[in-house]
Amino acid sequence: MISKRTRTAIVKELRSNKLATVGTVFILCMLFVGMFAPVLAPHDPTTQDSSQTHQPPAFMGGEEETTELVDGEIQTVTEDNSGSLTHPLGTDANGRDVLSRAIYGARTSLLVALTAMMASLVVGTTVGMAAGYFGGKTDTVLMRFVDIVLAFPALLITLAMIGVIGPLTVSIPDPWVASGLVSDRPTHMVFPVTVTAAIAAVIWVWIARVARGEAISAKNEEYVTAARTMGRSDFGIIRKHVLPNSITPILVLATIQVASIIIIESSLSFLGFAGTNLSWGYDIAQGRDYLGTSWWLSTIPGLFIVIAVVGINLFGDLLRDALDPGIDRGEI
């Protein structure tokens, strides 16, 4: 549970920091879109319509003149390529609704990001706490392994893991469709297991480094010495004293790293390793060949990525400023 003092600090920071408020609104909107994707999407994102390909966003486009060879003569043909409210953000090369695909892409990116971050938090915090608290050989072995992982680019490690493990996916029934509340939408969500595991495998090391530093600082405090004198076990000291007093910077870093995970997931999707075609990165890759004529195919999912990343970073700054009592108070 969040303490009353923490809630008060966050609310105060929201009221005084307009950018933090904007970031929080961005995140809440993205979470809302991801959770209610089947309800909010105007069309099935997988349905193709060859008669509606490359339709521009609403209130854009217009009549276009093209030349065709008819019965040996070159004739000018006028076609109406205006956007419509039926497809507010246009359609792609296969006639699929761009807005619906962007909404479902938010679900994929957020699900991967939150799952990977939770796994990274558990592993990274455990390793960092153990290394920092016990020190000695335990610290040396664990942190040298962390250094090895950090020596390689994150994208390179994830690609190597995907190559070894393969594109494993899990099909999860969509609760909105399964309950009968929504019809004519994909019945299952494809969760990219390999991508999520690969991302978590490179993100946890950053959590571990921060957790180690906080554990080293906390283990020398008087309350830890008192608990050790009273005969409390090392595990009990870490759980009751060291971890609670180290959790703030860990949570702040974890929040900011969610943005990195979204970028990595989008990059892997762009390269074709997502395991699902309902992803922002996948749609950007599909639209790159049409940037000169159908710019919205790549631009729309790209804007969704920007909004999500900016919102998460601004919210991370909010948590840092709200939870660190020394910031802007002349105590640092």
Those residues with Cβ within 8 angstroms of residue 195's Cβ, 6 or more apart along the chain or in another chain: 112, 158, 162, 265, 268, 273, 274, 275
Please state the pTM of the whole predicted model. Answer: 0.86
Structure tokens at 33: 């879109």
Those residues with Cβ within 8 angstroms of residue 91's Cβ, 6 or more apart along the chain or in another chain: 49, 52, 53, 54, 55, 97, 98
Please determine, for residue 314, whether its predicted confidence score (pLDDT) is greater than 50.
yes
- Mapped onto helix, strand or coil, the DSSP state of residue 233 is coil
* Predicted local confidence at residue 164, as pLDDT: 85
Mean pLDDT of 116-143: 93
Across 19-155, where does the E strand assignment appear? 63-70, 73-80
Ranges of each domain in the chain: 4-55+93-323, 58-89
- Which DSSP letter does residue 52 get? G
Structure tokens at 55: 């339709």
Please determine, for residue 131, whether its predicted confidence score (pLDDT) is greater than 70.
yes
Dihedral pair phi/psi, residue 191, rounded to 5°: -100, 115
Helix-strand-coil split of the chain, %, nearest 5 = 65, 10, 30
pLDDT digits (tens, 9 = 90+) for 166-214: 888 899 999 999 988 888 899 999 999 989 998 999 999 999 999 999 9
- Which DSSP letter does residue 86 get? T
Those residues with Cβ within 8 angstroms of residue 163's Cβ, 6 or more apart along the chain or in another chain: none
* Predicted local confidence at residue 326, as pLDDT: 53
By C-alpha distance, which of 46, 50, 61, 54 is closest to 92? 54
Q: How far apart are CA 135 and CA 130, in angstroms?
A: 8
* Predicted local confidence at residue 249, as pLDDT: 87
* Predicted local confidence at residue 61, as pLDDT: 66
* Predicted local confidence at residue 54, as pLDDT: 86
pLDDT digits (tens, 9 = 90+) for 239-263: 888 888 888 889 889 988 999 999 9
pLDDT digits (tens, 9 = 90+) for 232-241: 888 888 888 8
The third-level CATH classification (topology) of the domain covering 4-55+93-323 is MetI-like fold (1.10.3720)
